Amino acid sequence: MTTAEDNLIYMDNNATTRVAPEAVDAMLPYFSGNYGNPSSAHFLGARAARGVFEARERTASLLNCSPEEIIYTSCGTESDVSAILSALKSCPDRRHLITSAVEHPAVKNLCESLSEISGGNYRVTSLDVDREGRIDLREFEESLSEDTALVSIMWANNETGVIFPVPELARIAREHNVLFHTDAVQAAGKIPLDMKETPVDFLSLSGHKFHAPKGVGALYVRKEAPFHPFLTGGGQEKGRRAGTENTAYIAGLGRVCALAADHLLESAARVRHLRDRLEKGLLEVLPGSAINGGGSERLPNTCSIRIPGTRGDELVSRLNDYRICASAGAACKAGICKMSPVLEAMDIPADYGTVRLSLSIYNTEAEVDHLVKIFPEIIRGD
């Protein structure tokens, strides 16, 4: 098995990931010897500043952009919120925003509340998806107008792994002179992201989704894009994000960016092999089940499987009894289950329960085969 604890199978990597040992090694010096503030004028400060500088180069390299285009933040949510609020400030005369029906709450909730926090009159177009989780490009283009301040559409979905054609969407937005933000929190470190090939203005990523710790993220801001900081105060990050840099975590994020960049294709192939083996096995042993978004281009690590006559929350709870960590496609409170907005937007029938199994490079074939073997027993509840 893959973790320090025995008899544990972790397949909830879209929720968070195990920190890579290489990231721990990169972080440790900044907790002990190199504890200076990167803004300080002395040698300890310079050491910390050097660590942040190196991390920024590595993060930029993963995105094929320039280091000055990277701003470190506390998480994916902060990156999303900063990008969206900045774009709206940049275009005060435009009152329309385009997003998708399947965004993470970090984007969705902000978009929904915009009319309240900005004195009203923002119009939000939330693009529908089809049964495979895909966006209609024509509908997207038709929804752009001279009043559109920003498009915010995720690169890959956290529940299904479905990938949106962000390079194409961003090109269309650019042709209409509209700023484009993408939440790439689930895509970063899993699939190639190339800012030279993709005309987005803002991109969010989060360290803990690809083996850095929780509590560090980054926002890519294209050099030419206008930017208004969300957090103001000190002049850190060239005045674009106040708050003393979290040097240790930034060093950890830099390290995992380098790891991802160096091994992206081989890691993706390895994880895809495990995911495909898992899906093939589960579809064979679970009659009537199907993969949510299975007809779409997807992240290599994500399996969202719907199983007839089950409840996702119950399955996750039974998997937990077997020390298997997974997620459900529904939120339940006081016994009442509500399908996730993502699955609802895809019109997944309510008589299926969904389980999301999200893998990483630390999973093994033995784990996959074990899960396939015991899943029918887990469903029966014996």
Binding status of residue 154 toward ligand PLP by CB under 6 A: yes
Q: Which of these ranges, 69-77, 291-299, 338-346, 360-368, lies near ligand PLP under the rule CB under 6 A? A: 69-77
The partner residues of 179 in beta bridges, in order of sequence, read 150
Which parts of 260-279 interact with ligand PLP (CB under 6 A)? none
CA atoms within 13 A on the CB side of 227: 28
Task: Indicate which single residue of 56, 58, 96, 104 sits in contact with ligand PLP (rule: CB under 6 A).
Answer: 104
Q: Are strands 327-328 and 352-358 parallel, antiparallel or unpaired?
A: antiparallel
Indicate which residue of 75, 111, 325, 332 is catalytic: 332
**HSE on the CB side for 234, CA within 13 Å?**
10
Tell me the C-alpha distance between 81 and 5, whole Å. Answer: 36
Tokens standing for residue 214:
């929780």
Number of chain positions touching ligand PLP (CB under 6 A): 13
Query: Could you tell me the smallest distance in angstroms from the CB atom of residue 123 to ligand PLP?
Result: 23
Which residue lies nearer to ligand PLP by CB, 183 or 367? 183
Location of structure tokens 């009537």 = 288
Per-residue contact track with ligand PLP, 315 to 354, x per CB under 6 A? ----------------------------------------
Among 76, 213, 293, 353, binds ligand PLP (CB under 6 A): 76
Give me the least distance between CB of 190 and ligand PLP, in Å please.
12
Task: Name which position in 106, 149, 221, 271 contacts ligand PLP (CB under 6 A).
Answer: 106
Query: Does 182 engage in binding with ligand PLP (CB under 6 A)?
Result: no
Q: Which of 251, 209, 263 is nearest to 26 (CA)?
A: 251
Start-end of H helices in the chain? 21-31, 43-63, 76-90, 105-117, 137-143, 166-175, 236-239, 247-285, 312-321, 341-345, 365-380
Percentage helix, strand, coil, to 5, in the chain?
Answer: 40, 20, 40
Instruction: Give the shortest CB-3-to-ligand PLP separation in angstroms.
Output: 20
In the annotation, is 332 catalytic?
yes
Per CB under 6 A, residues contacting ligand PLP are 75-77, 80, 104, 106, 154, 158, 183, 185-186, 206, 217
Active site residues: 332
